[in-house]
A and B are shown apart, each in its own frame.
Chain A
C-alpha cells in the first residue's frame, strides 16, 4: 500500500507541474497579446492620417487620381485586416493577411511619395509637410511597437517549444504565434526616408 501513497504523491506533483507549465504559457500568451494592442493603437493612428494626406494631395494631383485611389483602397484593406488580427493576435492566417495588407499599403505609399517628388508645389505645402512628418514618426512608433510584439512572441514561441512544455503546448491549444513582419522588404527603408 505504500506504493499507492507514493503513486498518489507522484501524481499530485505531476499535476502541480503541469499546471505550472500551463500557467506559464498562459502568461506569455497574454504578454504578446497585450503587446499587440500597442501596434493596434499605432496602426490606427496611421490609418487615420492617410486619408488626410490623400485629401491634401488631391488638390495638387488632379491627374493622378488612380494612385490616390490605390492608397485609399490599400489603407481600407489594411484597416480591416488589422481589426481582424486584433481579435486574435498571433493567429497565423490573420497575421499574414495583416502583413500582406501592410506590404501593399507600403508599396502604394512609395508610389505616392515618388509622385510627390514630381510636384514641388505639393512638396512645399505646409499641411503636406506636417502630415508627412507625422506619418514618418508614426511609422517609427509602429516599428517600435512591432519590435515589442515580436520580442514577446519570440519568448512565447521559444518557451512553447522547449521541453517539457512542448509535450503539452499542442494539447492545451497553445499554437505557434506568428510574428508581425512587413512582407515587402523595400517598405521599411523607403517609407522611413521619405524626403
Chain B
C-alpha cells in the first residue's frame, strides 16, 4: 500500500474509531443505568419508607423505567461528551507538544551541546529531511526506561518524545531504528488517530472519576441533615459508578488495542525498510527486553497515553507469551523481534545498565565531530542518477522513504556549511537566516527590503543577517528546503510576541520583493504554515473534495505555475495533456491573473482538503510536468517538493 492508500485507510480507521466509540458509549450508558437502579434500590431497602421522593423515577418499582433511563442516559452521555470535547479542545490548543508536556517532557533546544542529545537531534533531523517531513521538535522524558513516542494531529504540530533511558542505553543504529519506527507512525497517519482517540476516550474515564468523587464525598454529605437519609445510597451509587467507570476504562482500552496494536508491526517493518538495517530496531527491542527498567514510563498520565509509545509504557515488558495479550497496548516483544529477525528464538540476555551506557557514550564521543551524522556511503548505497524519468517510481516513494534517501539526507545536511547550520539551530539567528533567504537578488529591491526591515526588525538581527547573508546566497538550491526544515524546531521555541514580529517581517520582505520566484515563495509559505500550529490552535483539515473535477481551477493553477516555472517549449500542449488525464477534459492555458502566487496560496489551501486519491493524481501530474522535458532540474524538483509539502504529502529527496 502506498502513502495515499495509508491516508485513505487512516480515514476509514478514524470512522471505525468513531463507530467503536459510539458502541462503547451505549455499553457504558446501560452499565450506568444498571448501577443507578441498583444503587437506588439498595437505598430504598436500607431506608425503608423514609426514602421518599417527589420524583417518580427515583422510586424503584421495576428494573426498567423509561423516565429513569432518559434521565440517566442523558446525564451520562452529556458527561462523556463533555469530557471528550474538553480533552479534544485541550489537545487542539497544544497539539503534539501538549501531549509531550502532559507526560513531563522537556523540550530539547536545537543548539544543545550535550553529545548524546546532539546525536538524537541529528538522527531525527536526517530522518525528517529524508522523508520530506518538517523536522519535529524533540522532547526528553526524564525516565530511565527505554521508550519513545510521536504525537500530533498533522506533520506541522508533531513532536517526538524520547526517554533519557533511550538516549543513554541505545547506540546510534538502535536509536535510529526507534526513531524510524516513530516516523512510520507519523507517515501512516497513526499519530493523528492516536490524538483523536485520546480525546474521545477521555470522556469514558470521567465516569470512574465521578464515581471516585461520590465515594469520597460520602462524609461531607452526611453532616447535612436534610441529605442524611441518602448517604448509603450515594455511597453505593458512587461505588457502582466507579465500577462502571472501570468498565468504561476497559472498553476504552479494548478500542485502543483494536485500533493501534497491529500498527506496531507495520511501524517496525517500515523502520526496517527505511533504515535497511533490521539489526538496529531488533537490537533496540532486545535491549528493552534485557534491561531491568524495560520500556517503563513512570508517570501518572502514562496510562491513557500508552498507545503513543514505542514499547509498552505501563509495566516491565512481558517477554514470551504473555498471559494477558489482549490487554497489552503493544504486541509482545519477542513476537516483534521475531518478525524482524527470524533467527531470534525468544531468549533475551540481560543487559547491564551501566556497562551499556558507558559503551554508548564512548561510541558517541568517539564519533567526534561527525557524532551525529550517519556514516555516509555504506556499501549498499547506490549513487542516484539525477534524471529519474519514471514518474510512477517517484510517486510511489511519497511517504515511503528508503535507506538511500536517508544516506542522501545525511549527506545534504553535511553539505550545509557548519556556521549556517549553527545559525539555523538557534532561534535568535534562525530568524536572520529566514530574512536572508528572502532577500531579493536585485540590488534596488534589496535596498528597499533592508530599509523596511530596519524599521520593524531588531537591529541586532539585521547585523546577524548581514553576517550570514553570503553563506545563504551561496547555498545551492537543493539545500534550501532542508535548511528551512532544520530551522523549524528552533523557531517554534520563540515566544508568541516574538513570533508575531517575525511573521510581520517575513510578510514585509515578501511584499517588497516583486520578482520573487515560485520556490522562494513556497519556502516562506512552508515556513509559516508549519510554524502556525505552535502559536495558535490547530485546525484539523477535513476531507471535502473527493473528485479532482471539483478542484479543476486549483489544479490548473498549480500545474500552470509549475509548468511556467520550468520553461517548456509548448506549455499549453503540456497542460492540456496533463489536465486531460487528471480532469478528463483538456484545460486551456489560464490567463495570467490566475497564475499569480497569491492564487497558488489559495489553491493549495483548498487542495489540503482534497481526498488522498485526488492529491495522488495531482501529484502525479505535477511530477510529469517537472519531468516533461526529459531532464530533472533541481529548481523544479524542489519547487515540486515544496508544493507537495503544502498538501502534506512528504516527497522524499532524490
Contact = CB atoms under 8 A, between A and B. Distances in A.
Given A16-B82, A38-B493, A147-B498, A5 B113 contact: no
A148 B497 CA distance: 8
The bracket for how many chain A residues form the interface is 35 or more
A20 B86 CA distance: 8
B428 A145 contact: yes
Contact of A141 (B83, B98, B428, B495): B428
B545 interface: no
Interface in A137-151: 137, 140-141, 144-145, 147-149, 151
A88 interface: no
B190 interface: no
Interface stretch (A29-37, A91-99, A100-108, A157-165): A29-37
Nearest to B237: A8
Contact of B428 (A5, A11, A27, A144): A144
A69 to B, nearest CB: 27
A4 interface: yes
A42 B429 CA distance: 12
Given A5-B71, A38-B109, A137-B464, A148 B493 contact: yes
Contacts of B654: none
A118 B172 CA distance: 51
A41 B213 contact: no
The bracket for how many chain B residues form the interface is 35 or more
A40 B206 CA distance: 39
A66 interface: no
A148 B107 CA distance: 14
B493 A44 contact: no
B464 A151 contact: no
B460 interface: yes
A27 B113 CA distance: 26
A151 B495 contact: yes
Nearest to B139: A34
Interface class of chain A by DSSP: helix
Given A30-B101, A41-B112, A5 B75 contact: yes
B210 to A, nearest CB: 6
Contact of A140 (B58, B113, B206, B428): B428
A148 B106 contact: no
A152 B495 CA distance: 7
A45 B428 CA distance: 14
A171 interface: no
Given A1-B58, A4-B230, A16-B86, A151 B498 contact: yes
Contacts of A144: 427-428, 458, 498
B111 interface: yes
Given A16-B86, A152-B495, 7 more contacts: A2-B54, A38-B493, A41-B109, A41-B113, A144-B427, A145-B427, A147-B498
24 contacts: A1-B55, A1-B58, A2-B54, A5-B71, A9-B75, A11-B217, A12-B213, A15-B209, A16-B82, A34-B107, A35-B495, A37-B107, A37-B108, A38-B109, A41-B111, A41-B113, A44-B113, A144-B427, A144-B498, A145-B427, A145-B428, A148-B494, A148-B495, A148-B498
Interface of A: 1-2, 4-5, 8-9, 11-13, 15-16, 20, 23, 26-27, 30, 33-35, 37-38, 40-42, 44-45, 137, 140-141, 144-145, 147-149, 151-152, 155
Q: Which 9 A-B pairs have the closest CB atoms?
A: A151-B495, A1-B53, A148-B495, A144-B428, A141-B428, A30-B101, A1-B55, A34-B107, A140-B460
